[in-house]
Amino acid sequence: MGRRKRAPIAFYLCVLFLLSIHFVKIAGSSDLERDRIARLPGQPPVTFSQFSGYVTVNEKKGRALFYWLTEAVGNAAEKPLVLWLNGGPGCSSIAYGASEEIGPFRINRTGASLFVNKYSWNNEANLLFLESPAGVGFSYSNTNSDLKTSGDERTAVDALTFLVRWMQRFPQYKHRDFYIAGESYAGHYVPQLAKKILDYNKPLAKPFINLKGFLVGNAVTDNHYDGIGTVAYWWTHAMISDKTYKTILAQCNFTNTKNSDKCDDAVDYAMNHEFGDIDQYSIYTSTCGSAGGNATRRLRLRGTVIRRRSYGYDPCTESHAEKYYNRRDVQEAMHANASGSIRYKWTACSDVLIKNWGDSQFSMLPTYRELIGAGLRIWVFSGDTDSVVPVTATRFSLNHLKLVVKVRWYPWYAGREVGGWTEIYRGLTFATVRGAGHEVPLFQPRRALQLFKSFLAGSHLPKSRPHAH
């Protein structure tokens, strides 16, 4: 009996390759099902799928980022994916974006149950909320020093690593139309991540992450122009006196990262003696009645660290989130902190990260110019009752891009009311949202949803109110 012929090496390599694909698919499917949320405590019935869990972005340091995916209501497979990032730096996209702004649920005052947000952006897209960087919310690092050395560059690199690895776990989103959205200090995170994605895609025949564009609200953009525009807002909205306004302009050098003591004193005087007890993120709405137990955020006014209470239209909504996400049954349902790596209370913002933020890009305008040149759809919006990153700051900054106007300033409508005003430039659309504070979808959810729909469609905001039937 003759010896059997051996199959060629190429045959074995082909088999091994097919087996590897098979096992990767099995592993990916297993990870996906492991991350599926069956139901959150106190959650009303819904028709869409939810997933949450961790993606390791740096094995050596032990950095892992936490995400929450709420798929679209109806035809999820045909709708785009939108990544939402909150700012701070050091604040949670789950506390704010998911639970107060664009997510499908709101948290009741007791922190015991959830109710549906009928203006959720997951009516139009699949929403991916990311707690970034490590140290924010449920995201963590096993290297404690990481929390004191965070900055813009590492945040962007880790977010890109997260997306690549997350899409390997959720391959149905590879090559899907993808957008990034966010607010406040995400005015840094969003364009910086967009640039990283474009660089990552350059050598590829087909974009792995099919980035189409981004939108940012009340966005930190340029330290110099933001600073001048912020003080101008305070004065034009009667929050400060003529004398204080002139003193700040005379003593504060908005091009420096650190201001003089006289500048700091003038700003402190404005805040402590002239602002009064208002919500600086929404100057015409009520504050939370109790001063105790409210989380805080900080804003850097060109080197001056300003501590501010953070509220929402339900003025105490942030405290509801902290009640809910510190419940052990909620964490178990969301697959959060399963390994016990987080030994501290979940908070909406991380004081450690805010105090120790490292590199911060002085101006995002050069990055905007590059991204406009790449042909991305870029929208910048601004709630007009925010005094922290106000509409004047954004307009001062964007004006220095010197873009060509395509469609002149006009009022846009949401329903039968003016939703705000907009101007369309070659490469960028700017829109205000009337009566909205820093967290635009919290204060004006219907108007924010109309803005989001128009952005996704690549169409102009409505120029007239709908006709009555």
- Rounded to whole angstroms, the Cα distance separating 108 from 88 reads 24
Which DSSP letter does residue 3 get? P
Other residues' Cβ atoms within 10 Å of the Cβ of residue 293: 10
Give residue 84's Cα distance to chain centre.
Answer: 4
Q: Is 158 helix (H, G, I), strand (E, B) or coil?
A: helix
How distant, in Å, are the alpha carbons of 195, 213, 247 from that of 363? Answer: 14, 20, 25
| Residues shown for the chain | 469
Beta-bridged to residue 82, according to DSSP, are: 127, 179
Query: Helices 223-236 and 242-251 sit at what angle, rounded to 10 degrees?
Result: 170
Count the helices and strands in the chain (H runs, E runs): 13, 15
| Contacts of 303 by beta carbon, 8 Å cutoff, 6+ apart | 256, 257, 258, 259
- Rounded to whole angstroms, the Cα distance separating 299 from 91 reads 12
Q: Is 454 helix (H, G, I), strand (E, B) or coil?
A: helix
- Rounded to whole angstroms, the Cα distance separating 130 from 132 reads 6
Identify the burial level of 339 via C-beta atoms within 10 angstroms of its C-beta, where 0-12 means exposed, 13-18 middle and 19 or more buried: exposed
Longest dimension (CA), the chain: 106
Catalytic residue list: 184, 386, 438
